[in-house]
Amino acid sequence: MRVVKAEQPGAEDALAGMDQGWSESLERLLDLAATTAGCADRHIVATRLLDAPRELVWKAWTDPKHVAAWWGPKGFTNTIQEMDVRPGGVWRLVMHGPDGTDYPNEHVFVELVPPQLLVYDHVSAPQFRSCATFNAEGDQTRVTVRLLFPSAELCDKTAKAFGAVEGLHQMLECLANYLSANPDR
């Protein structure tokens, strides 16, 4: 194994692709784990390329004042009650549906690798683990969100009862629209 120190001549070139390579490796590992562990039928996945730098996308995803402005499918608004973004920290919010229905949600953060990885458990019903990866692609960011459910039945029920697949795609679209309208946040 060759170790490259940042102060060595040519180190910048050697390290330039390391961050993207690590992120891509993590994506492949997550995909492999999902399919080989027999849980391909227990997860919902969505991905979107956003026209914003990774640090800005990370901030929009982890700062409650930003999250409240875009989180959820089209037509939803949010009240963030608590958002303590650290391992073990709690995130409580109420999603307000376009029909006036309130959906209380509670999450517990499991792992953070700023600005690359965010893992949190949705501890209110339906329960699932969410893993969001943020991969820099030049000045853009590819966000991939994986929801892993404890059973295929719960995954299927959530997809049907809550429209979770379409809702997840709409949520990423809401984030894209928010970033587009607020490029300097």
CA distance 99 to 96: 8
pLDDT in tens, 67-82: 999 999 999 999 999 9
pLDDT in tens, 83-107: 999 999 999 999 999 999 999 999 9
pLDDT in tens, 120-132: 999 999 999 999 9
Please report which confidence band the pLDDT of residue 183 belongs to, taking 50, 70 and 90 as the band edges.
confident
Q: Check: CB of residue 72 under 8 Å from CB of residue 95.
A: yes
CA distance 147 to 39: 11
Q: Check: CB of residue 109 under 8 Å from CB of residue 84.
A: yes
CA distance 135 to 26: 10
pTM score, two decimals? Answer: 0.80
